[in-house]
Chains A and B, each alone.
Chain A
Amino acid sequence: MSLPPLEIVLYAGAVSLLIIGLAGLVMSEHLVRLVLALGVAEAGGNLLLVLTGFRQGAVAPILLGAAPSGPMVDPIPQALVLTAIVIGVGVQALALALVLRVRRAYGTVHMSALRARLVEDLDEAAGLPPEGSREAPGVERPV
């Protein structure tokens, strides 16, 4: 598949954004950073989607009267990406709301601390002693 250099740059940019976003999701510690990383990844995904309709030198497919001469870009991805952006924004808003509630409940915005507290909470809710060095199943082994 031979693409024009511009498109290569554009695709590479979209994929890079996606990878940067996912890497941020893996490596970040702060909850807000995580949400931002998610935003970056989504931007990458959206860019990829909208690029699928891109044609170099093409015009917007807006039909006013006569059809324009020359190539037009594919309109469908643009419609799709609009939807995807809206969804993404909604999800990010929800995420931020949850970050706020989590901060209020746990007093931390750090993922590792949150994870540790969550596990404690889960064990407590189940009436289990915290899982420490005692590497044994909860009940006797079946055999």
Chain B
Amino acid sequence: MTLLDGLWAASALTALVAAAFGRHPAAGSWLTVLYGLQFLVVAMMGGLSEGADPVPASVSFVVLGYGLAWQFSALSWFFAVITAGAALAAAWFVSGAWGRAYAARGGDLRLLQLALALNPLAMYVLLASTDFLSLFVGWELVSWSSFLLMLSGGGVGVRWALRYLVYAIGGAMAVMAAMAQAHALTGSFGFGALAAAVPELSAASLWMLVILLAAGFGVKMGLLPFHLWQAGAYAETPGPGAAFLGAISSRMGLYAMLLTLFGGLGLGTLQALHIPFTPLEAHELLAWIAAFTMVLPTFTALRQNDARWLLAWHGIGQGGYMLLGVAMGDALASAGGMMHVFNHATYQAALFMAVTAVVYRTGTADLNRLGGLVTRMPLTFLVLLIGIIGLAGLPPMNGFVSKWLIYRALIDEGQPLLFVAAVIGTLGTIVSVYKLLHNIFLGRLRVEHESVREVPWSMLTPMLALAAVVFVTGLAPGPVLDWVAAVQRELGFAVLVPTLGGVDRPDGGLDMLWVVGIMLAGFGVGALIFLAGGRARTVHQLDNYAGGHFLSAEVRYHYSDNFYAGLMHRIGSWYRGSFQWLQDALVSATDFLAQGAAGVYRAVQPVTWLLGVTVLALWWAW
């Protein structure tokens, strides 16, 4: 029995326990232990990131003459460690008070636990793919298990889950087409055979493969224009589920792209594939799609009034950074893109959990119905603060490191427009996440939230742990970059050699140890200066300047709605909802065609069709 078998067994056991005892209050802790076990098994495979041989699974099948086998490599391991960590954190979050409250509110806790357990299992299967067939099998399993997780909450979530399903099946069909095409071209499902056949393939075949694979996996990643399902589907999933999905689920698309497009076809192929009548190559096309994915969803997030939706939209936008980095393909950029997967998982899970904690205490995620909670939930505030600094990509958190790598690479590569797009995405994120933080935690505390308390430790522990990871990997990104370097080596990218603090290069490197150190020292000096002043007296929030008015609890003295009025005055009219329009148009077109199709069966005398088609067929026969 190999470690991969052990991982699958542990994960399957978790799912079984969840299915059998998920409803039981004590099951949460046991499940958390089992998730911990999964994490441990993944950790035991850590040698993969140091160049150890791949870990195969001892099961394999032959179906219809096609072999199905699985193994873990450095790439798999990198994604698996994130998956295991996110699953552990999410399960820990559910295990205590949150799960009980969820069940008490009428939620189906067993279904949630089961769905939560099936997702990592499906992902471990997907991550162990060795060829197109096993990839597709795993891909479908992942799609359907996340569908189950989205459904588990019921209510509005079901509608979004169904929308997701349509997109997911569409994506899967594109993948299936690519897979059948690859098989037709090479006679095998293997990536190696495809890579070997690339020189003989025509540009048209290559383009077809690239487009089908990018579109198919892009659906899962929420790449433009296939992104419309993601925000709603993730946001309406029950909190910890959303944390897990938001952290890692859509990154499976990136994994599959890395495996097929960059590992299979090869980066060199993408760089040599020229788009007619333009100066662009295929990898730049991907980079531009990524750039639009960074910018547009981020600014959609800016307009959200629901904290969960805001985060989910940012999740789509951050996916763009990952693809941008990988598509640019040099050592820095690809390292940045892949490291961003890790970083995003850590802070996004923490953020979703913090928001869920707020919902747990206040019952709403509506950004216009909250405010001032920092005095009541200071630790949750801390987690959210660290999370948004990570999300916005500011020092000293880990999000900054991955984004810095991408910016630096874009300057190296001489891509000013992509660079500006990346920065615009970041600026939009900063603007948007401040609104998130402000509307929940700052400003005026509402009367009905006077009695709100900090959430229990069963919820705080995973949140704080994730926040600590966000900070520590920001302070010392070296280890994560080492994992990434192993992936780069496996996929044939140029390899980035990291230092503990980041990247050492004379023409502008990054040493986060110094950056963070100097920042903390600065804060210390700032604190000394601050304390040198007179002793301050803390006043009640109603003791405030109000232009001569006397404030009372009844007076709503808080600014939240239309937070960026001036900005929206300028760019508000740029929100056209074009993609929504496109989607609606597609649905309407389908509906229109369906009316026509149903009309075939409204004929008074169906023999008409018989006669008609006979005449046509005879005419055609001649």
Instruction: Answer whether A and B touch in the complex at a CB cut-off of 8 Å.
Output: yes
Chain A residues proximal to chain B, CB less than 8 Å: 22-23, 25-26, 111-112, 115, 119, 135, 137, 140-143
**A140 partner residues in chain B, CB cutoff 8 A:** 159
Question: What CA separation (Å) do A56 and B535 show in the bound complex?
Answer: 126
**B591 partner residues in chain A, CB cutoff 8 A:** 137, 141
Question: What CA separation (Å) do A143 and B610 show in the bound complex?
Answer: 35
**B614 partner residues in chain A, CB cutoff 8 A:** 22
**B610 partner residues in chain A, CB cutoff 8 A:** 22
Once A135-B595, A137-B591, A143-B166 are accepted as A-B contacts, the answer to whether A25 and B583 lie under 8 Å apart by CB is: no
**B159 partner residues in chain A, CB cutoff 8 A:** 140
Whether B573 is near chain A, meaning CB under 8 Å from some CB there, is no
Question: What CA separation (Å) do A25 and B609 show in the bound complex?
Answer: 11
Establish whether residues B607 and A25, one from each chain, have CB atoms under 8 Å apart when the complex forms. Answer: yes
Establish whether residues B605 and A111, one from each chain, have CB atoms under 8 Å apart when the complex forms. Answer: yes
Once A141-B587, A141-B591, A143-B587 are accepted as A-B contacts, the answer to whether A25 and B166 lie under 8 Å apart by CB is: no
Question: What CA separation (Å) do A22 and B595 show in the bound complex?
Answer: 27
Q: Classify the interface of chain A: helix, strand, loop or mixed.
A: helix
Establish whether residues A143 and B611, one from each chain, have CB atoms under 8 Å apart when the complex forms. Answer: no
Q: Which residue of B lies closest to A37 (CB)?
A: B607
Establish whether residues B604 and A115, one from each chain, have CB atoms under 8 Å apart when the complex forms. Answer: yes
Once A140-B159, A142-B163 are accepted as A-B contacts, the answer to whether A25 and B605 lie under 8 Å apart by CB is: yes
21 inter-chain pairs at a CB distance below 8 angstroms, sorted by A residue, are A22-B607, A22-B611, A22-B614, A25-B605, A25-B607, A26-B605, A26-B607, A26-B608, A26-B611, A111-B604, A111-B605, A115-B604, A119-B602, A135-B595, A140-B159, A142-B162, A142-B166, A143-B162, A143-B167, A143-B583, A143-B587
**B595 CB, min distance to chain A CBs, angstroms:** 6
Once A135-B595, A143-B587 are accepted as A-B contacts, the answer to whether A23 and B166 lie under 8 Å apart by CB is: no
Establish whether residues A112 and B163, one from each chain, have CB atoms under 8 Å apart when the complex forms. Answer: no
Nearest first, the 9 A-B pairs at minimum CB distance are A25-B607, A143-B163, A142-B162, A112-B604, A115-B604, A26-B608, A22-B611, A143-B166, A26-B607
**B555 CB, min distance to chain A CBs, angstroms:** 42
**B375 CB, min distance to chain A CBs, angstroms:** 43
**B150 CB, min distance to chain A CBs, angstroms:** 14
Question: What CA separation (Å) do A109 and B115 show in the bound complex?
Answer: 58
**A26 partner residues in chain B, CB cutoff 8 A:** 605, 607-608, 611
Question: What CA separation (Å) do A143 and B164 show in the bound complex?
Answer: 8
**A23 partner residues in chain B, CB cutoff 8 A:** 611
**B608 partner residues in chain A, CB cutoff 8 A:** 26
For window 142-168 of B, CB contacts with A under 8 Å fall at 159, 162-163, 165-167
Question: What CA separation (Å) do A115 and B604 show in the bound complex?
Answer: 6
For window 87-137 of B, CB contacts with A under 8 Å fall at none
Q: Which residue of B lies closest to A34 (CB)?
A: B605
Question: What CA separation (Å) do A25 and B606 show in the bound complex?
Answer: 9
Give 1 or 0 for each of B291-328: 1 = CB within 8 Å of chain A CB.
Answer: 00000000000000000000000000000000000000
Q: Which residue of B lies closest to A22 (CB)?
A: B611
Question: What CA separation (Å) do A135 and B163 show in the bound complex?
Answer: 22
**B595 partner residues in chain A, CB cutoff 8 A:** 135
**B613 CB, min distance to chain A CBs, angstroms:** 12
**B195 CB, min distance to chain A CBs, angstroms:** 36
Question: What CA separation (Å) do A57 and B614 show in the bound complex?
Answer: 34
Question: What CA separation (Å) do A143 and B611 show in the bound complex?
Answer: 38
Question: What CA separation (Å) do A141 and B167 show in the bound complex?
Answer: 14
Question: What CA separation (Å) do A140 and B162 show in the bound complex?
Answer: 11
Question: What CA separation (Å) do A23 and B607 show in the bound complex?
Answer: 9
Question: What CA separation (Å) do A42 and B583 show in the bound complex?
Answer: 51
